[in-house]
Amino acid sequence: MSEQKLQSQTVQTTGHAWDGDLQEYNNPLPVWWVYTFYVTVAFAIIYWIIYPSWPFGKGWIGGLSSITYVNSDGETKTHSWNTRALLMEKLNKADAEQKPYFDKVASMSYEQIAKDPDMNGFILSAGKALFSDNCAPCHQQGGQGKIGFFPNLTDDDWLYGGTYAKINETITNGRHGYMPTFSEVLSPEQIDDLANYVASLSGIGHDAAKAAAGNTLFHSDTAACYYCHGADAKGRQVIGSANLTDKVWLWADVPGADTAEGKVAAIRTVISNGLNKGVMPTWGGRLSAEQIKVLTVYVHELGGGQ
Amino acid sequence: MQTGLEEQVALYQKRIPIFTRSVKGRFRRFKTSVLVFAYAMFFLLPWLPWARSDAPSQAVLFDLPGRRFLIFGLTVYPQDVLWLALLLFIAAILLFFVTGLVGRAFCGYFCFQTLWTDFFIWIEQKIQGERPARIRLYRQPWDREKVLKVGGTHFAWLLASFWTGMTFAAYFAYAPQLVVDFVTGQAAAAAYITAGVLTVSTYAAAGLMREQICTYVCPYGRFQSVMYEADTLAVHYDARRGEGAHGRASARAGQRALAERHEKGLGDCVDCGLCVQVCPTGIDIRDGLQYKCISCGLCIDACNTIMDSFGYPRGLIRYDSEKNLAAAVPAKPRVEWKRLKTIGYGVALILMTSFLVYSVSTRGSYDRTVNQIRLPLYVVLSNGDIRNRYQIHITNKAGQEQTYVISARGVPAGALDLGSFQEITVKPGHSGTVLASVRLSPELAARTKHFELIITPRGKPAEARSETVRFDSPGRPT
């Protein structure tokens, strides 16, 4: 044993022996390492005190740190630190940071907003976010709409008008497009004549004889198309009736058909079935006036603003 | 009292204090001049004035709120991150290159840990005296003298640490204002945190931990050792000359002259221990090259002093390569650079540095990106015309406000519509966005596949840049 002890002066061991000869070398840790370990212990204890830590009864120990926030009902609440409260606090902060911009939006005219480079940047980012959240599900991400379902907001054709005031009115109050069913009133031949006439208005291949008959029918009191679409077939924005003379189609998928017959057939379908689906919801109660104003400028800037 | 307590092995190893002796010589002078130069750069740079129109007049200012670095006449924006990547690459290659040639020269002379430790040892020596005085003071009980001297040293260290932290913070704000705000409690929280953290870490690293940072903490020291080659210069003890046939021995009477020593088979090393006493990492270089050696060369200076005083030739400890030391007749040590690896590092260094210099010197006064709006790709208008839209993003990198004019080439006049912004004025360091739309008749659209958008800074037609963009229309395969 004393011999072993002498040897151990060259290679130090912890002095314990297991199974007779199994020993453990003692390579000491540097002392700074140990102090670092103590610091981490102290850090952990301070952390327990400040932040939520241990389960306690039915709840947990909340810690000293707390977060005060205003919830969606406008009540001020104070809660011990947690990520939900932190999120609420950050949302409050983000709202507060956006407020000066929205206040500025409220105080400026549409034309002023559109010409101010700083506000333009805000409209492009805030408007895009609002549009993505609220409008994109129907009108698509870029506002290009979907033929047969939702109007394209990037072209220059507007059912109800594309001025700032009209766009705002449309967003705030919503719209409901309607066209009566003609399959019960008119014969299939008459509908075919009308479809050829409508096709001729926008330069699509058509049967000239049928189109001439359709022209008469369009302006007669039998079909009374002119009543809504106007004698010149250019539509009436007051009631949101479509301009039939331009190259833009919403309900009849004319661009989607390859042949002239197919294009006429697409128009025929709309005339015989009518439609009752051009429903734009009301956003007045859901978005604030400033948000709607931002959206108005954004939609106007999508390319179709008048 | 418990017996046998003294023999018990301590669970944790206590740091063995190192008291370095000061030394004079070539390498000490070089180390000191690097220190003075580096300190002058670090501590004075934030106070150097530089006239600027839109920022405080500070030559080097890292303007974080403005998201830009102002370095003399150069403004660096986040999109110039490539420069940072290049700079880091150059720094790494330079480290490899130098390490391959002369070993851990970075550790010994240029690393901030070395520089600050050196400065802190200098403070310690000024207050507590030379090595023997410091050892005496260390062993002395805590009396008035020891409390004053040791307390004074730590106080001076803390002051130096604080000014280090303060100076670092001054790179991020207008220095004279920051110091005033700092004292009056008006400065930003980040300034206090930065200065505080750096004060503590400098004090701990340069005052308390010193060589432990190099040996336990620093990763560079460890990976530099893998770059050693047989040709690499490093601090070596010439064991053949120092030990002779019968080892080193003190220069007692009868073995003082070199001829007498050689006759007795003794080496040139007089075993004075000075090389150990001056070593900042507390090693004995005579044990051979070891991982704790930071190649600072102070032991060379110490040994040369002794060799001179005995009239022996210098260079018992010297910068030399393993290859040369092992040679039958060692030649004069020299930097051996003709190796594939060092040449490769050198070429990479030159290429990357030239690219960085080229990139910095030829950068334009503004950045622009033109994105076609792809949702939708094109719009058919009511009269059948096709319209494409483009988002133009301009970042002004010049020092002053600039107005940019946008025009198009390759489409008829009047086809380009810029909406509310016929031209856009952008503040320095800011960006502006313009939406442009181009409207063509179906016939023309079918023929137009590409056209050019031209951005011209007003008044500087030479800096006009064009961007070729696509024009999409229906019925044409993309």
Q: Does residue B6 surpass a pLDDT of 60?
A: no
| A169: in domain | yes
Tell me the pLDDT of chain B averaged across its residues.
90
Q: Show which residues on chain A lie within 8 Å of chain B, measured between beta carbons.
A: 12-15, 26, 28-34, 114-115, 117, 120-121, 124, 140-144, 152, 154-157, 203, 243, 246-248, 255, 301, 303
At residue B140, the pLDDT reads: 93
Whether A159 and A269 map to the same domain: the answer is yes
At residue A6, the pLDDT reads: 46
Q: Do B383 and A246 touch (CB under 8 A)?
A: yes
Q: Does residue B149 surpass a pLDDT of 70?
A: yes
Bridge partners, residue B439, by sequence: B387
Whether A295 and A147 map to the same domain: the answer is yes
Which chain A residues have a beta carbon less than 8 Å from that of B212? Answer: 30, 32
Q: Do A255 and B435 touch (CB under 8 A)?
A: no
B462 in contact with A, Cβ within 8 Å? no
Which chain A residues have a beta carbon less than 8 Å from that of B402? Answer: none
At residue B3, the pLDDT reads: 44
Bond preceding residue B78 cis, omega within 30 of 0 = no
DSSP A246: S
Confidence tier at B364 by pLDDT (50, 70, 90): confident
Q: Do B11 and A144 touch (CB under 8 A)?
A: no
Q: What's the mean pLDDT in B408-425?
A: 85
Whether A200 and A99 map to the same domain: the answer is no
| A203: in domain | yes
Whether A41 and A161 map to the same domain: the answer is no
DSSP A28: P
Whether A219 and A137 map to the same domain: the answer is yes
pLDDT in tens, B271-328: 999 999 999 999 999 999 898 999 999 999 999 999 999 999 999 999 999 999 999 8
Distance from CA of B328 to the nearest CA of A (A): 36
| A30: in domain | yes
CA gap B27, B300 in Å, rounded: 8
Q: Do B9 and A144 touch (CB under 8 A)?
A: no
pLDDT in tens, B190-217: 999 999 999 999 999 999 999 999 988 9
Q: Do A14 and B384 touch (CB under 8 A)?
A: no
At residue A10, the pLDDT reads: 60
pTM value is 0.68
- Whichever domain contains A246, its CATH number is 1.10.760.10
At residue A225, the pLDDT reads: 92
Q: What are the two backbone dihedrals, phi and then psi, of residue B61, each rounded to the nearest 5 degrees?
A: -140, 120
Q: What's the mean pLDDT in B95-104?
A: 92
| A63: in domain | no
Q: What is the DSSP string of A257-281?
A: -SSHHHHHHHHHHHHHH-EEEEEE-
Q: What is the DSSP string of B337-383?
A: --SHHHHHHHHHHHHHHHHHHHHHHT--SEEEEEEE--SSS-EE-TT
Nearest residue of A to residue B11 by CA position?
A28
- Cα B260 from chain centroid (whole Å): 51
Q: Based on the structure, what is the number of domains in chain A? A: 3
β-strand pairing of B366-372 with B379-380 = unpaired
- Point out the residue among B373, B380, B424 whose CB comes nearest to the CB of A248: B380
Whether A203 and A262 map to the same domain: the answer is yes
B170 by Cβ neighbours in 10 Å (0-12 / 13-18 / 19+) ranks as buried
Q: Do A114 and B420 touch (CB under 8 A)?
A: yes
Task: Give the dihedral of Cα atoms A304, B465, A125, A148; nearest 10 deg.
Answer: 30
B475 in contact with A, Cβ within 8 Å? no
At residue B86, the pLDDT reads: 95
At residue B9, the pLDDT reads: 54
Whether A149 and A288 map to the same domain: the answer is yes
Residues 6 or more apart from B211 whose CB is under 8 A from it?
B18, B117, B280, B281, B282, B292
At residue B10, the pLDDT reads: 60
At residue A257, the pLDDT reads: 85
| A94: in domain | yes
The domains located in chain B, with CATH, are: 26-227 (no CATH), 234-326 (no CATH), 366-470 (2.60.40.10)
The count of CB pairs under 8 A between chains A and B is 90
- Point out the residue among B8, B379, B421 whose CB comes nearest to the CB of A154: B379
Q: Do B376 and A12 touch (CB under 8 A)?
A: no
Whether A258 and A170 map to the same domain: the answer is yes
Which chain B residues have a beta carbon less than 8 Å from that of A243? Answer: 382
Q: Does residue B144 surpass a pLDDT of 90?
A: yes
B92 in contact with A, Cβ within 8 Å? no
Q: Does residue B255 surpass a pLDDT of 50?
A: yes
| A205: in domain | yes
Confidence tier at B40 by pLDDT (50, 70, 90): very high
Residue B445 CA neighbour count, 13 Å, CB half: 22
Q: Do A117 and B13 touch (CB under 8 A)?
A: no
Whether A136 and A264 map to the same domain: the answer is yes
Q: Sign of the CA dihedral A241, A245, A248, A251?
A: positive
pLDDT in tens, B151-171: 999 999 999 999 999 999 999
CA gap B256, B252 in Å, rounded: 6
What is the length of chain B?
478
pLDDT in tens, B426-474: 887 788 888 899 999 988 998 889 999 999 999 888 889 899 999 998 8
At residue A11, the pLDDT reads: 62
CB atoms within 10 A of CB B350: 12
Nearest residue of A to residue B435 by CA position?
A301
| A233: in domain | yes
Q: Do B15 and A141 touch (CB under 8 A)?
A: no
At residue A8, the pLDDT reads: 44
Whether A105 and A129 map to the same domain: the answer is no
| A196: in domain | yes
What pLDDT tens digit does each residue of chain A (306 aa) get?
444 444 444 667 788 888 988 988 877 788 888 899 999 999 999 999 999 999 989 988 888 999 999 988 888 989 899 899 999 999 999 989 889 999 999 999 998 888 887 888 888 889 999 999 999 999 999 899 998 899 999 988 899 999 999 999 999 999 998 999 999 989 999 999 999 999 999 888 888 999 999 999 999 998 889 999 999 999 999 889 999 999 899 998 888 888 888 999 999 999 999 988 889 999 999 999 999 999 999 999 887 777
Mutate which: A5, A27, A31, vs B, most B CBs within 10 A = A31
Q: Does residue B2 surpass a pLDDT of 50?
A: no
Whether A21 and A103 map to the same domain: the answer is no
Q: Does residue B8 surpass a pLDDT of 60?
A: no
Domain extent at residue A267: 125-302
Q: Which residue has the higher pLDDT, A289 or B476?
A: A289
Residues 6 or more apart from A58 whose CB is under 8 A from it?
none
Whether A280 and A228 map to the same domain: the answer is yes
CA gap B406, B387 in Å, rounded: 18
Which chain B residues have a beta carbon less than 8 Å from that of A117? Answer: 421, 424-426, 432
Q: Do A247 and B374 touch (CB under 8 A)?
A: no
At residue B343, the pLDDT reads: 95
Of B258, B243, B215, the closest CA to residue B107 belongs to B215
